[in-house]
Structure 1
Amino acid sequence: MPPLRTPDGRWIVVDGRRWRAADPELPEQVRARLLHHLGAARSAVRTAQRADDQAAVTAARARVGAAKRGLGERGTPWWEQDSDARSERWTAALAELDPS
Structure 2
Amino acid sequence: MTARRAVRAAKADQDQDVEAAAPRAVDEAKRALGERGAVWWTDGSPDLNRHMAKNTPYAHWYSEIGRCFSGGT
Q: Does 1:42 align with 2:4?
A: yes
Residue 75 (structure 1) aligned to one of 28, 31, 37: 37
- Count of aligned pairs between the two proteins: 42
TM score, norm. by length of structure 2: 0.52
CA distance in structure 2 between the partners assigned to 1:40 and 1:59 by the alignment:
13
Of structures 1 and 2, the one scoring higher in RCO (CA 8 A, sep 6+) is 1
| Structure with the higher strand share, 1 or 2 | 1
Alignment correspondent of 2:15: 53
CA distance in structure 2 between the partners assigned to 1:71 and 1:58 by the alignment:
21
Alignment correspondent of 2:49: none
CA distance in structure 1 between the partners assigned to 2:23 and 2:35 by the alignment:
15
Q: What stretches of structure 2 of length at least 5 have no aligned partner?
A: 43-73
- Over aligned residues, Cα RMSD in angstroms? 1.2
TM score, norm. by length of structure 1: 0.39
Deviating runs (4+, > 6 A) in structure 1? none
In the TM superposition, what are the counterparts of 1:1-100 in structure 2 within 5 Å?
Answer: 39-79=1-41
Q: What stretches of structure 1 of length at least 5 have no aligned partner?
A: 1-38, 81-100
Task: Indicate the structure (1 or 2) with the bigger Cα radius of gyration.
Answer: 2
